[in-house]
Structure 1
Amino acid sequence: MKKNKHLFAIIMVGIFFVPTIATAVETDNLQQSNLPELYGKYLDESSRYGADTMLPNIHPKSLTTPTAWGAANGVLFIGIGGTVNAPYDDEADGAAVIGVGFGDPTENLGAQIALFSLDLDSWDRYSASAHIHRDLGGGSAIGAGVENIVLLEGNQPDDEEYDESYYIVFSQSVQSDVFLNKHCASKLHFSVGIGSGRFGEKSAADVESGKDRYGTYIFGNVAYEMFDEFNAIIDWNGLNLNAGVGKTFWIDQFPLSVTLGAADLTDNSGDDVRFIFALATGFKL
């Protein structure tokens, strides 16, 4: 079964920046304080988190894989991303997303929903994703979700099909003074999860080129803050290895997350190493 060629860009823009934007928006006094409001809120809840809990930093933590952290508390996010070139294609590909987070993961559950435009030329293909998440304390969280719920197929080629992917993921900001940054957050983060669909099923083009039909179905990512400025990121999406950098800038009181990377670093899937990028911002309703 051939995977939709837009899927790679959809995954990229739809997954990695949401927790970054959510954290940044809820710590909107970051530029005025070394202990942002959100971090202070968590630290005050010593009965639940402990007095020295280090939460995730505000920079992107993944390239093509989910993290457990997500949007909540009325955070609205928008973004755009792309890949140059698309797998087995001579053209670039891209997608755009808008979404919102509800609930409170520290009290019960957070939930985010997102709407994707899969074709930035005709704007006639749309899908959705959903993610629920829970903070476990100690800088850790667990989440589960579904990607690529088709809403409108538009002028979809007959040989392209959309497949939903389900997953569950655990994320941790490592708790050690060695990894404490200047904002009292952790510099080191990792996530590990298991999923269906795109986390283990390769495209028809991969199979036709002689590659194995299935990947690992297990995915993960590691992000480390460099020079108190940006995160260096490595992730495995079940099919291939990817590496890049991510940084959240402040434009007045609005965060802008930028991620640049190289995807398909091994010959396990795809036909070549490709450049990937994404931009995103958000605000609290």
Structure 2
Amino acid sequence: MSKPMSIEQNDINLFDQVAVQRNRVRGRAMGPDFDFLREEIADRMADRLADINRDFGTVLDIGGNFAPHTGQGVQTAPATDGTLDVAPGSCDLVISNLALHWVNDLPGLMVQANHALRPDGLFMAALFGGETLHELGHSLLAAEAEVTGGASQRVIPFADVRDLGSLLQRAGFALPVTDMDTITVTYEHPLKLMQELRGMGEANAMQARSRRFLRRDVLMRACEIYQAKFGMADGRVPATFQIMYMTGWHPHESQQKPLKPGSGKVNLADALKAGKPPQKA
């Protein structure tokens, strides 16, 4: 299993952006049948926006994975080069659907997203979390270590859900909220999962990845380990996708403000002595 990526790693060039783009082109060439996960998350994000009950006139889609699945005509921007070529204060909504996990400088991109928003504009993003594909990562590492005596990381590190609130605050967003879904997809065989990841354009593009093809004996052993450790009673194998959501608002004077420390009207010690929960006026 890969370690969750810390947001403090923004100064490290983790990902090969040429390889990221090459993988996406190859994935699109395999056809549209591999985009089910982005479509599902786009639907969930659209439902969240509907609950907000606000008309977002100017929308920026970082990565371009939201608009194609919702029918919305929006402006798109690449996620991987780390730069948003957008005028400050020009957007009502900045959104991203399963694209930010390939960004080298995620904190920097978040700051730019905040700057792109008008006052009281909304930022919303979904990205993969640290438990994503942990079954595959474990199986590949164990097989390569067993067969060759060494191992290289074959599944990229994903952000840790505990860091997201801090990330939003550091980027200057108001009213930050984070939450998480876990989606488990089952496959006939681990090779079916690997084919689907290629079709999604999600092959390994780490700078430190091995440039050699995975040996066939290692691959077959990884499949055996996967099936033995994680296989289900019906012979299928599960793959975990942890989806983390972030929302934050560009600051505006109309937004709810937290109470200042010491502004409560009830003494906590007195309330506890009285045997009842503290209340505020």
Larger fraction in strand: 1
TM-score by structure 1 length? 0.30
Larger fraction in helix: 2
Q: Which has the larger radius of gyration?
A: 2
TM-score by structure 2 length? 0.30
